[in-house]
């Protein structure tokens, strides 16, 4: 059994593998009471500076990692994306209404700055042949500490939004992300440039052997750093990349880990160069669909061809709402939240808009852990709202729309079912009389949306 930590949480066990009979979820190697693999429901709030520091000062203000872990504990979250950042700055003018209208300095990065000549920012150039031990020490310690709190971590290899989306066509100065990138020829001491076919900034592509060799060495160093930890997942890149390059990295990670003690899931995220069909056809173990693939306010039902970590980052950027959390859960996804957190990077400190989303994610996880999730599949056809997860005949979780009664088809129920209304944000519950099989109508005891859990007696 996983050990209890000083904070009362159980340490994360694993490594995670795709559930053998319900590949909408991972399993951690433990078994349910019926002997089947236990499904693990992943959900959590991640924020941009949870690995590299970001701030107006140089060096930037240190991120309070301990306070962040306490925050995740308090909200019953068990998953984060651990953010890489490829460039030495982040010009927040590229982020529209959420921008701070100033430039963040970003540190540390994976490579040492020991070049004799100055880079474009006036500091020593990067030596791309020498990794910065401090970066990898921080990566390992934070992943390990998260695991002790029962939190799984998606280790992001590369960050693509800066070059793919933020580098041009926005309020920030054109090319800001490329001018501050270590692979820019003016920023490294190795004579490396990521230009491909005369196009500057072709970092996240195949076709430049020197760049791809440096990237491979970095990926191998990351794997060496965290491979022995149970709570690890890998993520190729945030919102960038190019199909052949993405797939190359997935295959590379799988190949490297075949010779290591443990193997971990590898994922590809949406809102970059790949769309849903491409990600589903890829060798990735999990994917993160985006709004362009039809997963905004009313996310499509997931068929389970791969695990879906459905992230507001690829849907709104910063956005979302409580019904979206429950709709995503009941349609077979694992919902994640791109969280402005304390507002230090983007957004407003203490913004109350995000509080209910964080709380709803934790409540949904509590419900998921009360059922045999590995046996449950989306059954939109059983609920008048269109949101139902069911082990048909024995267990049902449905979501009632705001102000509407909920009609459920329980014709296949094997006897009477206990029924319990659950507030989708506060988590408080109200039991009702046992329910007989058949087509039944339910009225929520409180306003707003509501979750209903029915279980065989």
Question: What pLDDT is attached to residue 168?
Answer: 83
pLDDT tens digits, 143-168: 999 999 999 999 999 999 999 999 88
At the fourth CATH level, the homologous superfamily of domain 17-374 is Glycosidases (3.20.20.80)
pLDDT tens digits, 408-427: 999 999 999 999 999 999 99
pLDDT band with cut points at 50, 70 and 90 for residue 272: confident
At the top level of CATH, the class of 379-456 is mainly beta
Question: What pLDDT is attached to residue 377?
Answer: 98
Contact 210, 127 (CB under 8 A): no
Strand, helix or coil for residue 360: helix
Question: What pLDDT is attached to residue 319?
Answer: 93
pLDDT band with cut points at 50, 70 and 90 for residue 1: very low
pLDDT tens digits, 335-382: 999 999 999 999 999 999 999 999 999 999 999 999 999 999 999 999
Contacts within 8 Å (CB) and 24+ apart, 289-297 = 289/314, 290/314, 290/315, 291/315, 291/316, 295/333, 297/321, 297/323, 297/324
Q: Is the pLDDT of residue 35 over 60?
A: yes
Contact 418, 455 (CB under 8 A): yes
Strand, helix or coil for residue 28: strand
Calculate what percentage of the chain has a pLDDT beyond 90: 89
Domain residue ranges in the chain = 17-374, 379-456
ω before 108 within 30° of 0 (cis)? yes
pLDDT tens digits, 327-336: 999 999 999 9
Query: What does pLDDT average to over the chain?
Result: 95
Question: What pLDDT is attached to residue 8?
Answer: 60
Q: Is the pLDDT of residue 106 over 60?
A: yes
Contact 442, 436 (CB under 8 A): no
Question: What pLDDT is attached to residue 199?
Answer: 62
Calculate what percentage of the chain has a pLDDT beyond 70: 97
pLDDT band with cut points at 50, 70 and 90 for residue 430: very high
Q: Which of 6-20, 29-43, 206-220 has the lowest mean pLDDT?
A: 6-20
Question: What pLDDT is attached to residue 386?
Answer: 97
Q: Strands of 14-59 (E only): list them.
A: 17-18, 26-31, 37-40, 44-46, 53-55
Question: What pLDDT is attached to residue 200?
Answer: 63
What is the Cα–Cα distance from 143 to 60, expressed in whole angstroms? 21
Average pLDDT for residues 283-308, to the nearest whole number?
94
Q: Is the pLDDT of residue 397 over 70?
A: yes
Cross-strand bridge partners of residue 269: 288
Question: What pLDDT is attached to residue 229?
Answer: 98
CA atoms within 13 A on the CB side of 451: 29
Question: What pLDDT is attached to residue 457?
Answer: 81
- The residue with greater pLDDT, 184 or 201, is 184
Alpha helices, DSSP H, located in 12-128: 65-74
3-state percent breakdown (helix, strand, coil) of the chain, nearest 5? 25, 30, 45
Angle made by CA atoms 411, 416, 421, in degrees to the nearest 5 = 95
Q: Are strands 334-338 and 44-46 parallel, antiparallel or unpaired?
A: parallel
Q: Per the structure block, which two tokens stand in for 190?
A: 């190795």
What is the Cα–Cα distance from 447 to 229, expressed in whole angstroms? 44
Average pLDDT for residues 199-227, to the nearest whole number?
93
Q: Is the pLDDT of residue 3 over 60?
A: no
Phi-psi category of residue 8: left, alpha or beta, with phi > 0 → left and psi -120 to 50 → alpha: left
Rounded to 10°, the helix 209-226/133-148 angle is 40
Strand, helix or coil for residue 347: coil
Contact 377, 389 (CB under 8 A): yes
pLDDT band with cut points at 50, 70 and 90 for residue 9: confident
Q: Is the pLDDT of residue 5 over 60?
A: no
């Amino acid at each position: 059994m996983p050990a209890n930590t000083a904070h009362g949480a159980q340490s994360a066990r694993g490594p995670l593998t795709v559930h053998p009979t319900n590949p909408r979820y991972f399993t951690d190697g433990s078994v349910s009471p019926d002997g089947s693999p236990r499904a693990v429901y992943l959900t959590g709030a991640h924020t941009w500076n949870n690995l590299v520091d970001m701030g107006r000062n140089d060096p930037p203000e240190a991120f309070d990692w301990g306070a962040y872990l306490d925050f995740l504990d308090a909200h019953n979250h068990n998953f984060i994306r651990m953010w890489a950042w490829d460039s030495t700055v982040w010009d927040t003018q590229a982020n529209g209404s959420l921008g701070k209208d100033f430039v963040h300095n970003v540190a540390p990065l994976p490579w040492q700055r020991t070049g004799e000549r100055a880079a474009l920012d006036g500091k020593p150039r990067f030596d791309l042949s020498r990794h910065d031990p401090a970066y990898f020490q921080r990566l390992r310690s934070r992943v390990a500490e998260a695991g002790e709190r029962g939190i799984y971590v998606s280790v992001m290899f590369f960050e693509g939004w800066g070059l793919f989306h933020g580098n041009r066509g926005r309020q920030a100065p054109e090319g800001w992300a490329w001018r501050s990138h270590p692979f820019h020829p003016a920023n490294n001491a190795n004579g490396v440039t990521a230009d491909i076919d005369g196009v500057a900034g072709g970092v996240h592509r195949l076709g430049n052997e020197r760049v791809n060799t440096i990237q491979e060495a970095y990926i191998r160093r990351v794997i060496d750093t965290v491979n022995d930890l149970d709570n690890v997942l890998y993520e190729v890149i945030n919102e960038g990349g190019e199909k052949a390059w993405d797939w190359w990295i997935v295959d590379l990670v799988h190949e490297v880990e075949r010779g290591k003690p443990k193997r971990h899931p590898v994922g590809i995220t949406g809102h970059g160069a790949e769309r849903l069909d491409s990600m589903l056809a890829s060798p990735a173990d999990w994917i993160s669909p985006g709004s362009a693939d039809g997963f905004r306010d009313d996310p499509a039902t997931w068929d389970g061809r791969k695990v879906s970590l459905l992230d507001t980052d690829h849907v709104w950027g910063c956005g979302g709402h409580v019904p979206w959390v429950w709709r995503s859960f009941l349609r077979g996804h694992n919902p994640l939240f791109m969280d402005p957190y304390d507002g230090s990077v983007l957004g407003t400190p203490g913004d109350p808009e995000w509080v209910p989303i964080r709380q709803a994610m934790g409540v949904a996880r509590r419900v998921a852990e009360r059922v045999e999730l590995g046996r449950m599949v989306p059954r939109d056809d059983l609920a008048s709202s269109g949101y139902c997860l069911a082990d048909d005949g024995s267990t049902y979780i449905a979501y009632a729309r705001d102000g509407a009664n909920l009609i459920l088809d329980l014709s296949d129920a094997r006897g009477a079912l206990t029924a319990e209304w659950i507030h989708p944000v506060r988590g408080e519950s109200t039991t009702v009389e046992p329910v007989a099989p058949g087509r039944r109508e339910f009225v929520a005891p409180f306003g707003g949306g509501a979750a209903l859990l029915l279980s065989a007696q």
